[in-house]
Structure 1
Amino acid sequence: MKLKPLQTLYSTQFLSAFADNMILFITLAIIEQKALPGFYIGVVQASFLFAYVVLAPLVGAFADKHSKAGVLLVGNAIKAIGILALFFNLDPAVSYGIVGIGAAVYSPAKYGILPSLTRSETDLLRANARIEGYTILAILTGSVCGGFLAKLSLTGSIAVCLALYLISLAMTFMIPRIPGNPVIQYAREAKAFASDLLVLMRDRSTRYSLVGTGSFWMASSVVRLAIIAWVPAHLGIHAVDQISMLVAVTGIGIMIGALMTPKLIPARKYYNSYVFGIIMIVSILLFTLISNLYLTIALLLLVGFSGGVFIVPMNSVLQDKGQRMIGAGKTIAVQNFIENTLMLIGVGTYTQISKSGISADLSITGIAAILAAFVAYLMVQRKQLKTV
């Protein structure tokens, strides 16, 4: 049976994101095997994010100039090159950085194609919820499989990653080739990137969405690294496969939250999603008070669930308005730039803190405080958006 375009997109995104998340825990196993310092996992993550930040002025234009299905193919091909580099024993940070380049190319097309494959604002919200759900399911299962396969065989786990990227690449041929805008010029678009950023930041709705999604992903990226350090300290668990299972629990929560978003936050009331940001902050703070496995699992689920509901409505309104304002691909590129700049700052700061020996508890408290500042800003903006 032939898959429908949206179903094909969900599938190729799942496989690609699955492999992305396998690599992080494969890298963690490599770091342990080579006896590299614990903070090096932060360096690896930062190299991935750096590609997003540097390429942001170009990848949106690339996605809008060409067929987005073709752009998905190119992104997966670059990711496959990154995993081959890991196979040939290149430094994990360099290899993951190449994967980051592929992910940076892939992302604007992944989200930017959704308005073309949906018929209404509600359909777009549902599509966003589903692609977010599939992505988080990939984070969940990819993290767990990465931990387990790396424990069994590093070479085998790397080979599985490569195969997944190639399958995802092949599936992109089943997505309609919707023509892009061939008159787009990269040099001009790169110069216009700052203007695009300003256009989106001047609009109340898109600014709200950019601040909201950026703050969420900054907090999530740092929480993920902090939990890797927190689990051994609070629960006495050191095995990579077991840590990966716990980190993946957050993914279950995000997936559930993303899929339930249409019922909890109507598309036109996206500004109410800040409530779930508050729930996320409280949940993160509670980690410093517990040392019980079952409470840890429950909190990870709650953090993920609240985070999923927090970001999906903002993604939808940003894509809907951004497509009309500056173009779908360029909107996602601006979003990626803001999100990954904040994530890079967060991960870089956390890495420096880890090198200085500050506890995971203090790091987690700091993350919650920074997220609280962003959510407070969203609460102020909400009053104005209700009148728009």
Structure 2
Amino acid sequence: MMRIPPLQALYFTQFLSAFADNMIIFIVLAIMRQEGYPGFYIGLVQSAFLLAYVVCAPFVGPFADRNAKSWVLLVGNTVKATGILLMMTGLSPVLSYLVVGIGAVTYSPAKYGILPELTNSKEALLKANGKIEGYTIFAILAGSVAGGMLAEYSLFWSMAVCIGLYLVSIAGTFAIPRTGGNSSIRYNRALRNFISDVKLFFSNPKCRFSLVGTSSFWMSSTVLRFAFIAWIPLMLGITSLDKISMLVAVTGVGIIIGSLATPYLIPAHKYYRSYLYGLMMALLVVASVFMSDLYLTIAVLMAIGFMGGAFIVPMNTVLQDEGHKLSGTGKAIAVQNFINNTMMLIGMGIYTGATRAGVTAPVSIVTVGLVLLGFVLYLHFLKKKLIASSVLSIESTGRTL
């Protein structure tokens, strides 16, 4: 019987899980259209998902580090499948998506936290990050398109396909080694320890750079996804869910290419150069609202994705590497999830309120681009301090030798 390499099994499992995750939002949009929900309701649904990340963050890191991470992946997918089952029974999309979010936040620390266990060098870790990010974004792309098409055809079958994908993903986890966790970790001090972990990671210059970068990227990307869904019918006259999902997914193509190209663009020891791609992403976001030609819009959306992929991968890599040394990769990813999703929740809250108040999609998109630009300029400031501290460290080591 042919044995699947553990990393390949992880990529396969992650792809299917992320594919199903990204079908759901278009299923929710179809439910909204069918049942006559107001436009801002989608913001409430996404906010419920993000709320799960924020509330559960102190506990999922210790859970991932205490147990075999392949088993944690299985648990996360099982909870996500349960959320879809609840949606099929007619439970509110907000509450159903909240359950999916609990599964996702459980799954996430193990997904990234297992990478240092399956690789043996920083370069291998960077490549593995690029691949898993590439597979994830490819799943976002394919899942968004499939979600839009299946939801137009049948709500029942679109949800049934989601559950099937989660079940196959669960089966894939059995090909990933079950390395032992740290059984000494306790949950009774999880919240206090988590607060200490947040302080610890922000006190580390490399981790702070990563956390600011990843949180600004995901906040921007989350809001932009919904803003572009609203902008496409307005500017391009496209109203069918399947075509809208295809256009939104174009950004995913760019992220895949950017993620896979990152090891060749940015050396692992010069991760701070990634801020330049964040700068270009922010400028392209602002420029995107002035596009009225379909093909030019596709090119700009793909370029936004490419810059985003090159921006995010080095950030993830340095946090995993430093986090593994500081207090465990699971805790590092849990802190990252908390910061990222808190920012995303704030962003979606503001976007939902602005949409309800009548703010147009182009205004929202430009605002997101400018906010991202502000974060990138802060990263430029942090980069100077990182380089200066590295030089001082090298000089100090030379004097010691």
Interval of TM-score (by shorter of Structure 1 and Structure 2): over 0.9
Aligned to 1:284: 285
Aligned to 2:6: 5
Aligned to 2:63: 62
What amino acid does structure 2 have at the position aligned with 1:293?
A: L
Tell me the alpha carbon deviations over residues 206-257 of structure 1, each in whole angstroms, 9 at most, x when there is no partner: 1000000000000000000100110011001111111100110010000000
What amino acid does structure 2 have at the position aligned with 1:355?
A: R
Q: Unaligned 5+ residue runs, structure 2?
A: 391-401
Query: For structure 1, which segment, 83-92 or 139-148, has the greater mean C-alpha deviation from structure 2 after superposition?
Result: 83-92
DSSP-derived class of the 2:188 partner: helix
* In 2: Cα distance, 1:109 partner to 1:282 partner: 34
* In 2: Cα distance, 1:40 partner to 1:56 partner: 25
* In 2: Cα distance, 1:188 partner to 1:45 partner: 30
How far is 1:191 from its partner? Answer: 1.3
Aligned to 1:95: 96
DSSP-derived class of the 1:191 partner: helix
DSSP-derived class of the 2:229 partner: helix
* In 1: Cα distance, 2:151 partner to 2:78 partner: 23
Tell me the alpha carbon deviations over residues 282-325 of structure 1, each in whole angstroms, 9 at most, x when there is no partner: 11011221111111101110110000000101100100010110
Runs of 4+, deviation exceeding 6 Å = none
TM-score, length-normalised on structure 2?
A: 0.96
Q: 1:42-121 alignment to 2 at 5 Å?
A: 42-121=43-122
TM-score, length-normalised on structure 1?
A: 0.99
* In 2: Cα distance, 1:386 partner to 1:124 partner: 22
Q: 1:29-44 alignment to 2 at 5 Å?
A: 29-44=30-45
Aligned to 1:238: 239
What amino acid does structure 1 have at the position aligned with 2:314?
A: P
Aligned to 2:128: 127
Aligned to 1:375: 376
Q: How many residues align?
A: 388
* In 1: Cα distance, 2:138 partner to 2:234 partner: 27
DSSP-derived class of the 1:187 partner: coil
How far is 1:3 from its partner? Answer: 1.1
- Are 2:165 and 1:149 equivalent residues in the alignment? no
- Are 2:194 and 1:189 equivalent residues in the alignment? no
How far is 1:190 from its partner? Answer: 2.2
- The higher radius of gyration belongs to 2
How far is 1:2 from its partner? Answer: 2.2
Q: Percent identity?
A: 58
Q: Unaligned 5+ residue runs, structure 1?
A: none
* In 2: Cα distance, 1:338 partner to 1:268 partner: 24
How far is 1:354 from its partner? Answer: 0.3
Tell me the alpha carbon deviations over residues 60-105 of structure 1, each in whole angstroms, 9 at most, x when there is no partner: 0000000000100000000010010111111111111110000000
* In 1: Cα distance, 2:245 partner to 2:42 partner: 14
What amino acid does structure 1 have at the position aligned with 2:17?
A: S
Aligned to 1:336: 337
Query: For structure 1, which segment, 3-12 or 187-196, has the greater mean C-alpha deviation from structure 2 after superposition?
Result: 187-196
How far is 1:189 from its partner? Answer: 2.5
DSSP-derived class of the 1:290 partner: coil
How far is 1:131 from its partner? Answer: 0.3
Tell me the alpha carbon deviations over residues 137-158 of structure 1, each in whole angstroms, 9 at most, x when there is no partner: 0000000000000111110010
Contact 2:66 2:183 (C-alpha < 8 Å) held by counterparts: yes
* In 1: Cα distance, 2:77 partner to 2:191 partner: 23
Aligned to 2:315: 314
DSSP-derived class of the 1:38 partner: coil
* In 1: Cα distance, 2:316 partner to 2:219 partner: 15
